[in-house]
Amino acid sequence: MTKNTATADNTTLVLPHPEHSFWARIAHEIADAIRRGIYAPGERLPSEHALAQQYGVNRHTIRRSLTTLGQLGLVRSAQGSGTYVEEFAVDLVLGKRPRHRQSLAQAGLKGGMKVLQSHVLRADSAVAQALEVPPGSQVLHLVVLGDGGGQPLHVSDRYFPLPRLAGLDTHLRATGSITASLAQLGVADYTRRESRISARLPEAKVATLLHQPASRPTLLVTSVNVDTEGVPVEFARAWFAGDRVTLTMDHAHD
């Protein structure tokens, strides 16, 4: 399922007539701008201050307009970030061969991975068990943002065994693809051994990166990927934006 946006045509039976008040007129105009694509799905609207200046009203009036549009599912507010045009979920497939770009292509979108942080650390018991290395072993830890259509879809902590996959962060920055980066380091193919999915409220940092309020649940996917010999090459914890992503388990190819 590709991204869509609710249209102003679907709100005319709910919004008060635009002649009833300033805030209703402004809500109608913003909804119409969304319908006509002036504000695209996922796009941040101008600030309350900018909209107040544009329409010649106070910020309280703008806030009421945006609150109403939010209740109708046309926009969403992210604390400290702004108000964004709402969008339906992108359907991402979790199959035996995890490929971010391929999954996005199936949804008609382009995207990739961006390294936000990279450092070497000692594996704790959970990471060591997942990667099948002794506790305290050095591993490469990456914080990665995955986007689709220019919008953040997930943020993840990813761990790779060292020294085998040293330099993967450099390749990932260059390619935006974990698959391509692993191939550069001799892992020609890899598959997902397991995935565990749960609903969690995000930490403030995760919510900010996903452009969503911390009160909105995320889908936490914990996974282990292995090479053709069954040796783990990646352990990941990925937080998916719950209102932007639908996760489909593909059993046909497992």
- 47's CB contacts (< 8 A; 6+ apart) are 82
Instruction: Look at phi and psi of residue 101 and say left if phi exceeds 0, alpha if psi is from -120 to 50, else beta.
Output: alpha
Look at domain 8-85 and name its CATH class. Answer: mainly alpha
Q: 78, 204 in Cβ contact below 8 A?
A: no
CB 137 within 8 A of CB 160: no
Pair of tokens at residue 230: 């069954």
* Spatial CA neighbour of 123 closest among 161, 163, 175: 161
Domains of the chain by residue range: 8-85, 90-249
Which CATH number does 90-249 carry? 3.40.1410.10
Determine the 3-state secondary structure of 30 from DSSP: helix
* 44 DSSP assignment: B
Going from the C-alpha of 48 to that of each of 10, 16, 42, 199, 217, the distances in angstroms are 24, 21, 17, 32, 26
How would you write the pLDDT of the chain (254 residues) with one tens digit per residue?
333 333 333 333 345 555 568 888 898 898 888 777 788 877 899 999 999 999 999 999 999 999 888 876 678 888 788 998 876 556 677 778 877 777 776 665 678 899 999 999 999 999 999 999 999 999 999 999 998 877 788 999 999 999 999 999 999 999 999 999 999 999 999 999 989 999 999 999 999 998 877 888 899 999 999 999 999 999 999 999 876 777 777 645 54
